[in-house]
Amino acid sequence: MTSSKTIVLRSSDGATFEVDEAVALHSLMIKHRIETGGADSTTIDVPEVTGNTLSKVIEYCKKHVEAPNSDDLKSFDTDFVKVDQAVLCHLAKASYYMNIKGLLDLSSKTIADMFKGKTVEQIRETFHIKNDFTPEEEEELRKENSWNLFV
């Protein structure tokens, strides 16, 4: 009988999560750490990710590893990203650092969909981004863009 090995993942704020190795390996970053880590690699630090986000990432990996062919995988994914913006952005970053392509694509695409059809001002407001163009620079670029040159 095969014993399922478990791995402990430790977030930036010290929270620990015990997960099946198979689930942890869904992250190629963790897979690499395990493969190159030597004998005593049962606790893996993930300093780029906080506990809250790591917990969600693990939830994603669990579902995709344990039930990859389930009919409700698609609706799981759809519901998974129905979170507020901040969480979504954290998920995208975490999936990038942890090299989980499926989650990176899912979260990136969801963020991209939030940009679509919006004006520049709306995007800035939604994501709290400061405009650091001078009025002249912005005007010049608007001409290049909104003069339907690249549209």
Residues forming contacts to another protein in the complex (CB under 8 A) are 85-86, 89, 92-93, 96, 104-105, 108-109, 111-113, 115-120, 123-124, 127-133, 138, 141-151
Nearer of residues 73 and 114 to another protein, judged by Cβ: 114
Q: Order of strands, edge to edge, in the sheet holding 16-20?
A: 16-20, 6-11, 43-46
Whose structure tokens read 């869904």?
A: 26
Nearer of residues 70 and 146 to another protein, judged by Cβ: 146
Nearer of residues 34 and 98 to another protein, judged by Cβ: 98
Whose structure tokens read 């695409």?
A: 109
Q: At its nearest, how many Å lie between another protein and the CB of residue 109?
A: 5
Q: At its nearest, how many Å lie between another protein and the CB of residue 71?
A: 25
Q: Dihedral, CA atoms, 115, 48, 53, 29, nearest 10 degrees?
A: 90
Query: How many angstroms separate the CA atoms of 15 and 59, rounded?
Result: 15
Nearer of residues 3 and 119 to another protein, judged by Cβ: 119
Structure tokens that stand for 58 in this block: 């693990």
Q: Which helix (H) or strand (E) holds 64?
A: helix 51-66
Q: At its nearest, how many Å lie between another protein and the CB of residue 105?
A: 8
Q: Which helix (H) or strand (E) holds 110?
A: helix 101-115
Q: At its nearest, how many Å lie between another protein and the CB of residue 93?
A: 6
